[in-house]
Structures are given as structure tokens and as C-alpha cells.
């Protein structure tokens, strides 16, 4: 028996087969994968998962592929870090970080979705893969295309951080730097998808791609000893990680693998691009698109495709949303670095800074189990902090010079 | 010179597989009415029972989202190019 039944429109319920398509012909709603949970229930258990590989593929029975994985075999199973020192700074005694900044191979949570999407692309018979990206997806599609022997076309806004551009070109990808913001890149790709027989992972493969994010939730639950946390703070760009993480937890509960989920979900955005958090905070039913203006470029999506589902998830879970300024983002990056030894990119800075705000508002109680989603690596967005860090102490190669420098440094520390 | 409308893949069954059609409408609302007359049923794909645009439909006039212009009252002039685009995920 196949575990995937087909696709279904999240808006109007119209059903489709297992095809490379992302949008409902009837209402333009997004399509999502429909699973046979009864069939999956016969296959899966804590034991079956625990005996699987240390990667996202230990949850293969819950992912939308027919055969065995062929691309991204080592992706996922990233550390869930107990963060006592950051917790003390924030006033949280039971704080964890789901650290996808060390995901394999391109250091962001996007490796999860791309591993699933390119395995599916191969099943569909594609030889060319493509994506529109704010950077992390570009890196991941380019790397996995190289691993899988696909040709790749990567569309990015032309103002991306250098690290994200280099980290795409190095894999031999064809990179198209589009004059415009991410939403404009996306519109171009939406028009291109009808012209080229390519697997655009975030467009025609979107239903399959999106379900890769469920593994973020599965891993958190398993790493906590098969239970869902009380709270999860998730950075939002298109909004998919929010609803898919929650879906992942609820699938495990539905299958009897974890107790019922009472997790409250919190959306984190930068104030310079906050269509999702603004809608939640103003209790609006409508998302107003914005033109992004923030250093948190990886999550600068002004017209979030999964925004409505992210908002639904936050509301039905009893969570909330906050956004933070660029200065607070940088403080968040530095705070995580100096307390936990983790260098996250701007999106992670957003999450840490939003967590601080939520604690101050009394929404994250000190003794409850809180997980922060750290989704990307700081080495990719070095420009963001270059001018905000202390400088190295320049000295001569002798002890006198060293002693002088340490003395000056101690004086400076005392005068702060 | 009339207004050119780029038709996305999910609507092409209704436009006899044409990926671009023309209209002489003077607003987006008029354009939707006109498309529905040219291609019966197309209007209901874009708007709900109340006549409002469905929430996953994005319309652009000369590459600008009409939500940054005047919504469905956005005026159209000869030579304008209109794109109808489903929402796209990513990051």
C-alpha cells in the first residue's frame, strides 16, 4: 500500500494525484500531501524510528517519497542544545535550541526540505532543478543538485550577502541574480515555471518540499524523550516552517507516538518585514504585504505564501508573535554567541531577540520548556555583524606587548 | 494598444492554453469581468462568492503588486502588462 494518497487543496479541498503541481486550479490555494495515516500507523513506532539512520530519513514513513531517499542522505538530526547560560540571561530555566545552523551540508534548515524535494524530483524524472531564494535555499539546492547530479538554476535577489552568493556558485550552479527583491524573484519564477520543464523546488514541488520541514518537529519531540515542548519560537519568512513543525508534532501525537500536543507556537520576524507578526498582533484576518527593509534578508519575504497558515497555527496553539529591530537582531546574534558558543545568522538573531521580548511580556514562563528554532549559520551573513563587534588586540610577538595589551583590556572592561 | 494579461498555468485550460490574452478594461475589476466574458468560469477562479479576490491570488500591473496600488480599482492604461500569479513559498 502506498502511504501517499495524493495532493489536496488546503483552501477548497479539491483533490489531485501525485503530480508536480503546487496550486489548485479552482481557487489558487496551495496543495498539500495527503497521507494514509492508517497505513503509516502499521509501519511506524518509536522503535522503528530509533533504529533508523541519524538523519531526517529515520522519519521516512512520514515523508512524501515512494522509494528510498536518493539525495541528502546525511541531512538533519541536528543537536537539540540545552541552553543554560542563554536561559539565565533570558530568565528561562528550561531552554533548548534546535540548532539547524549546523545542518548538513549547507548549514540551514533548508537542507531538510531540499533533501525531500530533490529525492522527489528524481522520482518524477527531472534532470534540472531550480528555486527562487533569499540565500539559504539557494545554497541547499545548489549543493544537493551537485550531490545528485542535477543541473541547477538558482534565482536570487541581486543584493544578497556575499557568503550566500559564493556558497551557491561553488557548487557549480547557474546563478541568476535578479534586479529586485525576493517577492519579485518569486513572481518571475512563477512565470518561468510554465515555460521550462524544471523542478522548481519551492514552486511545482512545493507540497513535497514543504513536508521536509515536518522533520524539525519530529526531531524536537524525539530528542526531548518523545514529548512536545511547552513553547516553540520560530522565525517566519514564507511561514511554512511554523505550520509544518506543528503538523509534525501533531502527526506524532495522532499516531500515538507522543502524548497530545499542547505546544504554543510563536512567530518571530524583523520589524522591517513583519507581515505575519503584524497580522497576529493587530488580530487582523488579512495579511498586508510589505516591501522588506531589514538586515534579516533570509526571512525578508513581504508576501508570505504560507502566512495565513502560520497565523492559524499561532492562534490555534495559543501562542503569539513579536518582531524586533535590526539593532535587536544584532544583539540577539551576539548574545547567542557569547552565552552558548553558537554563531547564528540574522534569522537566529531575530528568534533570540523575540524570545527575550516574549519573556518580558510574561508569555514564556520561567519554568516551562521552551525551544528556540535556530535555523541558519552566522558565517553566511558576516556583513550583518562586521561593524558591531570589538576589534582584535594588535600586539608585537613579545611578552611586554602582551602584558600591555591585557592591561589595557582589563582597564577597558573595568570602565564599562 | 490594449492591455496584455499573462495567464498562469492553472488557468490555461480555460483560455484554450493561451499564455497571454488581451483586454481593453480600464481597471483590474473590469479586467476580471472582461476575462470572465471571454473565458466563462475564469472569474470564479480569481474571486470568491462576495466578489473579493481570493487570498492566494496575486495580481501585478507592470510588475507592481496591486495591493501596493489601488487594489481591484487600480487603473489600467494602453500598453500595461498584467500578471496573475499564485502565491509562492520559499526562502
Distances (CA, A) of A312 to A291, A327, B67: 23, 29, 22
Peptide bond preceding A136: is omega within 30 degrees of 0, i.e. cis? no
Q: Are B90 and A136 inside 8 Å of each other by CB?
A: no
Looking at the structure of chain B, the number of domains it has is 1
Looking at the structure of chain A, the number of domains it has is 3
Per-block mean pLDDT, blocks of 10 residues, chain A (416 long): 91 96 94 97 97 98 97 98 98 98 98 98 98 95 98 95 94 96 88 91 96 98 98 97 98 98 98 98 94 93 94 98 98 98 98 98 98 97 92 95 94 84
Q: Please, which residues 85-114 of chain A have a Cβ atom closer than 8 Å to chain B?
A: 110
Q: Closest residue of A to B13, CA-based?
A: A25
Check pLDDT > 90 for residue B77. Answer: yes
Q: How many helices (H) and strands (E) does chain B have?
A: 2, 5
Q: What is the per-residue pLDDT across B20-72, written as a single tens digit (0 to 9) for each? A: 999 999 999 999 999 999 999 999 999 999 989 999 999 999 989 999 999 99
Both A88 and A11 in one domain: the answer is no
| pLDDT for the residue numbered A69 | 98
Asked whether residue B65 is domain-assigned, the answer is yes
DSSP SS3 for A182: helix
Q: Are A305 and B87 inside 8 Å of each other by CB?
A: yes
Written as nine digits, the cell of A1 is 500500500
Both A218 and A193 in one domain: the answer is no
Both A253 and A266 in one domain: the answer is yes
Given CB atoms, is A19 within the 8 Å cutoff of chain B?
no
How many beta carbons lie within 10 A of that of residue A41, not counting itself?
14
Contacts of A289 in chain B (CB under 8 A): 65, 67-68
Given CB atoms, is A212 within the 8 Å cutoff of chain B?
no
Asked whether residue B91 is domain-assigned, the answer is no
Q: Closest residue of A to B41, CA-based?
A: A26
Q: Which of A331, A401, A400 is nearest to A89 (CA)?
A: A331
Q: Are A184 and B88 inside 8 Å of each other by CB?
A: no
Query: What is the full DSSP assignment across A314-335?
Result: HHHHT--EEEE-HHHHHHHHHH
The DSSP output letter for B47 is: B
Q: Are A288 and B67 inside 8 Å of each other by CB?
A: yes
Both A184 and A230 in one domain: the answer is no
Best residue in A14, A16, A23 to probe B by mutation, most B CBs within 10 Å?
Answer: A23
Q: Closest residue of A to B89, CA-based?
A: A305
Both A118 and A238 in one domain: the answer is no
d(CA A124, CA A213): 20
CATH of the domain at B22: 3.10.20.30
Residues A292, A298, A304, A308, CA torsion sign: negative
Both A121 and A87 in one domain: the answer is no
Contacts of A129 in chain B (CB under 8 A): none
d(CA A20, CA A230): 36
DSSP SS3 for A157: strand
Give the residue from A174, A209, A244 where a domain finishes.
A209
Check pLDDT > 90 for residue B89. Answer: no
d(CA A84, CA B13): 58
Residue among A28, A134, A289 minimizing CB distance to B65: A289
d(CA A80, CA A331): 22
How many beta carbons lie within 10 A of that of residue A301, not counting itself?
30
CA A90 from centroid of its chain's CA atoms: 22
How many beta carbons lie within 10 A of that of residue B12, not counting itself?
15
Both A97 and A162 in one domain: the answer is no
Task: Please report the ipTM that was assigned to this predicted complex.
Answer: 0.89
| pLDDT for the residue numbered A1 | 56
Query: What is the full DSSP assignment across B62-85?
Result: TTEEGGGTTGGG-B--TT-EEEEE
Residues A104, A105, A108, A110, CA torsion sign: negative
Residue that is written with C-alpha cell 512567530 in the block: A267
Given CB atoms, is A134 within the 8 Å cutoff of chain B?
yes
Given CB atoms, is B45 within the 8 Å cutoff of chain A?
yes
Both A296 and A407 in one domain: the answer is no
End-to-end CA gap in chain A: 67
d(CA A361, CA A384): 27
Given CB atoms, is B13 within the 8 Å cutoff of chain A?
yes
Given CB atoms, is B4 within the 8 Å cutoff of chain A?
no
Query: What is the full DSSP assignment across A324-375?
Result: E-HHHHHHHHHHHHHHHS--B-HHHHHHHHHHHHHHHTT-S-TTS-EEEEE-
| pLDDT for the residue numbered A415 | 81
Q: Are B90 and A186 inside 8 Å of each other by CB?
A: yes
Q: Are B13 and A25 inside 8 Å of each other by CB?
A: yes
DSSP SS3 for A223: helix
Q: Which domain holds residue A131?
A: 4-73+110-209
Size of interface A-B (CB pairs under 8 A): 106
Q: Please, which residues 21-80 of chain A have a Cβ atom closer than 8 Å to chain B?
A: 22-30
* pTM summary value: 0.95
Contacts of B13 in chain A (CB under 8 A): 25
**Which residues are CB-contacts of A270 (< 8 A; sequence separation ≥ 6)?**
A294, A295, A296, A299, A300, A323, A324, A325, A326, A329, A346, A350
| pLDDT for the residue numbered A37 | 97
Q: What is the per-residue pLDDT across A36-67, written as a single tens digit (0 to 9) for each? A: 999 999 999 999 999 999 999 999 999 999 99
DSSP SS3 for A26: coil
Both A323 and A202 in one domain: the answer is no
| pLDDT for the residue numbered A251 | 98
Q: Are A190 and B86 inside 8 Å of each other by CB?
A: yes
Q: Which domain holds residue B24?
A: 3-86
CATH of the domain at A318: 3.40.50.1100
**Which residues are CB-contacts of A266 (< 8 A; sequence separation ≥ 6)?**
A231, A232, A233, A234, A314, A319, A320, A321, A322, A354, A358, A363, A364
Min Cα distance A382 → chain B (Å) is 19
Given CB atoms, is A12 within the 8 Å cutoff of chain B?
no
Given CB atoms, is A164 within the 8 Å cutoff of chain B?
no
Contacts of A206 in chain B (CB under 8 A): 88-89
d(CA A109, CA A76): 8
Helix or strand holding residue B29 (H, E): helix B28-38
Amino acid at each position: 500500500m502506498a502511504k501517499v494518497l495524493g495532493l489536496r487543496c488546503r483552501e477548497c479541498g479539491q483533490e489531485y494525484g501525485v503530480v508536480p503541481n503546487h496550486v489548485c486550479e479552482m481557487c489558487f490555494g496551495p496543495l498539500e500531501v495527503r497521507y494514509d495515516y492508517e497505513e503509516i500507523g502499521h509501519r511506524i513506532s518509536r522503535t522503528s524510528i530509533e533504529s533508523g539512520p541519524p538523519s531526517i530519513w529515520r522519519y521516512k514513513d512520514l515523508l512524501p517519497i515512494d522509494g528510498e531517499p536518493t539525495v541528502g542522505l546525511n541531512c538533519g538530526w541536528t543537536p537539540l542544545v540545552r541552553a543554560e547560560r542563554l536561559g539565565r540571561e533570558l530568565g528561562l530555566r528550561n531552554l533548548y535550541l534546535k540548532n539547524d545552523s549546523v545542518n548538513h551540508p549547507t548549514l540551514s534548515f533548508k537542507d531538510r526540505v531540499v533533501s525531500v524535494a530533490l529525492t522527489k524530483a528524481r522520482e518524477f524524472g527531472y534532470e534540472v532543478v531550480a528555486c527562487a531564494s533569499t540565500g539559504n535555499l539557494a545554497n541547499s539546492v545548489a549543493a544537493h543538485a551537485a550531490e545528485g547530479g542535477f543541473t541547477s538554476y538558482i534565482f536570487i535577489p541581486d543584493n544578497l550577502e556575499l557568503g550566500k552568493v559564493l556558497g551557491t556558485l561553488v557548487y557549480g550552479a547557474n546563478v541568476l541574480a535578479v534586479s529586485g527583491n525576493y517577492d519579485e524573484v518569486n513572481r518571475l519564477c512563477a512565470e518561468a515555471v510554465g515555460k521550462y520543464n524544471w523542478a522548481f523546488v519551492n514552486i511545482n514541488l512545493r507540497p513535497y518540499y514543504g513536508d521536509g520541514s515536518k522533520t524539525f518537529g519530529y526531531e524536537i519531540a524525539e530528542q526531548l524523550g518523545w514529548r512536545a515542548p511547552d513553547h516553540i519560537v520560530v522565525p517566519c519568512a514564507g511561514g511554512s516552517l511554523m505550520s509544518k513543525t506543528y503538523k509534525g508534532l501533531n502527526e506524532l501525537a495522532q499516531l500515538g507516538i507522543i502524548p497530545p500536543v499542547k505546544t504554543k507556537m510563536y512567530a518571530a520576524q524583523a520589524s522591517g518585514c513583519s507581515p505575519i507578526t503584524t497580522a497576529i498582533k493587530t488580530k487582523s484576518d488579512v495579511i498586508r504585504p510589505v516591501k522588506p527593509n531589514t538586515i534579516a534578508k533570509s526571512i525578508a519575504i513581504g508576501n508570505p505564501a504560507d502566512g495565513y497558515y502560520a497565523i492559524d497555527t499561532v492562534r490555534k496553539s495559543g501562542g503569539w508573535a513579536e518582531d524586533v529591530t535590526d539593532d535587536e537582531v544584532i544583539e540577539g546574534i551576539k548574545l547567542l554567541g557569547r552565552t552558548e558558543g553558537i554563531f547564528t545568522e540574522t534569522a537566529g538573531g531575530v528568534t533570540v531577540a523575540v524570545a527575550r521580548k516574549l519573556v518580558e511580556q510574561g508569555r514564556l514562563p520561567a519554568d516551562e520548556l521552551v525551544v528556540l528554532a535556530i535555523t541558519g549559520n552566522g558565517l553566511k551573513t558576516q556583513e550583518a555583524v562586521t561593524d558591531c563587534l570589538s576589534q582584535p588586540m594588535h600586539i608585537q610577538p613579545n611578552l611586554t606587548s602582551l602584558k600591555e595589551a591585557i592591561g589595557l583590556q582589563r582597564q577597558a572592561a573595568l570602565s564599562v | 494598444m490594449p492591455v496584455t494579461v499573462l495567464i498562469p498555468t492553472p488557468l490555461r485550460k480555460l483560455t484554450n492554453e493561451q499564455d497571454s490574452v488581451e483586454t481593453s478594461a480600464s481597471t483590474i475589476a473590469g479586467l476580471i469581468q472582461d476575462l470572465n466574458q471571454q473565458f466563462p468560469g475564469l472569474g470564479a477562479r480569481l474571486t470568491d462568492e462576495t466578489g473579493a479576490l481570493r487570498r492566494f491570488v496575486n495580481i501585478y500591473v507592470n510588475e507592481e503588486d496591486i495591493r501596493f496600488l489601488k487594489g481591484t480599482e487600480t487603473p489600467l492604461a494602453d500598453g500595461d502588462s498584467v500578471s496573475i500569479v499564485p502565491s509562492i513559498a520559499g526562502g
